[in-house]
Amino acid sequence: MKVVVTGAAGQLGQDVLKELERKGHEGIGAGREQLDITNEEAAIAFIEDVRPDAILHCAAYTNVDKAEEDEDNAYKVNALGTEYLAKAAKKVGAKLLYVSTDYVFDGNAKEPYEVDHPTSPLGAYGRTKLAGEELLKKNLDEFFIVRTAWVYGIYGNNFVKTMLRLGEERGEVGVVHDQVGSPTYTVDLAAFIVELIESENYGVYHASNEGICSWYEFAVEIFKQAGLDVKVNPLTSDKFPRPAARPKYSVLSKKKITEQGFTPLRDWKEALAAYLEESKR
């Protein structure tokens, strides 16, 4: 397959390109320089020129706090950009997969969110990503939406890198313990995304590594596996105020992955070990 990957320079995009290559597909990485998804004419022209079999839409406005005061730009990227790619995909008959987020939910659940659970975003980032989902559905009858959470990989800034840096600098960190979810390693997410796009099993999926932890428990495990002696102090979210509210409960039900016969993502602790090994290379 010939596959266009948006956000190709990003944390997920780079691992998606590597996975496409590993599986023998032709991955065409499109960063902002090659493809401005916020320009409808340019986006459609690019896709019409390349004529891919599939588009893996990993590009996003992901600065959750900045989005609160910059919602117009977040909407252009997350919502309109997705709509323009959907129109382009329809024109050339390409499959389209859109990477979405746990932030479409309010985090008030007590059990893992199913794919059809009512959405209720808390802030601008979640609103604009949800708008992208809705515009995608409006323009295409068949599509893939993959919601994920707590993403980290070797190519971007993320929680694991921040913890390792702060742990080495300070020897003591404070981390919230009242936000719960499942970390997601980009290598594992990329493998699922490529497996999904190879299929005709359209719809909405939730994908994160197996298991559940708080950010505090995640930090403790990071230092344990990295062999660092760092004191981790549990904090409540109100001790760590941010412009955008975070969902307290971000656990996504991955039931549909196994129901549709796809390979489940491994346990988050195993994935963390693989990440730490990869980051040494």
Active site residues per annotation? 125
Cβ atoms of 69 and 242 within 8 Å: the answer is no
Tokens of 79: 């919502």
Separation between Cα atoms, residue 125 and residue 79, nearest integer Å: 10
Q: Which 8-state DSSP code applies to residue 37?
A: T
Cβ atoms of 167 and 26 within 8 Å: the answer is no
HSE on the CB side for 159, CA within 13 Å?
23
How large is the angle between the packed helices 40-50 and 81-92, nearest 10 degrees? Answer: 30
Separation between Cα atoms, residue 15 and residue 143, nearest integer Å: 21
- Pairing outcome for strands 151-152 and 213-214: unpaired
Q: What are the distances in angstroms from CA 35 to CA 6, 29, 79?
A: 8, 9, 16
